[in-house]
Structure 1
Amino acid sequence: MRSAPRFRWAWWLLAYASLGLGLLGMFLPGLPTVPFILLSAFAAARGSERLHRRLLADPRFGPMIRDWQAGRTVARRAKWMATWTMLASALVLLLVAANGDGRRWWAFALPVGCMAVVATWLWLRPEPPPAGHDGG
């Protein structure tokens, strides 16, 4: 899926910036990994065939990207990993907020609310069929 050559650089830039944010999300609580990796794959398909092939071949990200591209599905294991990560992030935010003076309650409520919306959206996504399922 190629885009007009004049916009290829923008897709390339978006692909690598999203990949960088996704990789940071693996280590920083509150920063999601999966959406940024999926955005990176989407942009790479339009701006960098080489990066797109590497993402699809990656043992961590490839299956997730292929599931999403094939049917907008998310594996149950990925849902649980994301949910536990968001819960851990919410706990860290709660501990930090508990040490404050209470005037900045929104600094806890806003990110936790966003995580709740993301978790709800994530659990509403269908799951891919089991491996070896022939569909009939």
Structure 2
Amino acid sequence: MLRRGPVARSSWLVLGLSLVAVGFVGIFVPLLPTTDFMLLALPCFARSSPRLEAWLLGHPRFGPGLRAWRETGAVPRHAKVAACIGMTAGYGLFWLHVRPNMGLALAVAAGMLAAAIWIIRRPTPGISNEG
């Protein structure tokens, strides 16, 4: 096992705690993705605090999704739907408020479409993806 110095462990711990804090804010702020920040916090805790890593993996709300992602890169169906709806709403707000030129609008749409396709193609927990 790789040994980490106290400064590195402390840095990973602070980053992990900060990501969890932002994730908890996301519970109350629309369009701020809670689970994404928990996914980012998980490797920080793996490098700094096995106890906090175990807490996050065992959390009743976030744990199942985090474990599915860690084991197989799976995304639950409801999360796929929420992500696509959120990206569509975000693009709509972008279009209305920024009023981008056609090139920028198409570039942003292409980026969001690529992200949506990637998310949709991730395995779904509990569903076999073998053909």
Q: Same fold (TM over 0.5)?
A: yes
CA deviations over 1:51-110 (Å, ceiling 9, x no partner): 222222222211110101111111111111111111112222222124xxx56974x666
Normalising by structure 1, what TM-score?
0.72
- 1:14 deviates by 2.3
1:24, distance to aligned residue in structure 2 (A): 4.0
RMSD between aligned alpha carbons?
Answer: 2.9
- In the other structure, the counterpart of 2:116 is 119
TM-score normalised by structure 2 residue count: 0.74
SS in 2 for 1:128: coil
Q: Which deviates more, 110-119 or 14-23?
A: 110-119
Cα distance between partner residues in 2 of 1:16 and 1:114: 30
Q: Which residue of structure 1 aligns with residue 21 of structure 2?
A: 20
What stretches of structure 2 of length at least 5 have no aligned partner? none
Aligned to 1:11, the other structure's residue is in SS state helix
Structure with greater helix share of residues: 2
Unaligned runs of 5+ in 1: none
C-alpha distance 10-113 of structure 1, shift in aligned 2 (>3 A): farther
Instruction: Describe the SS at the equivalent of 1:60.
Output: coil
- Report the number of matched residues: 126
Percent of residue pairs identical: 32
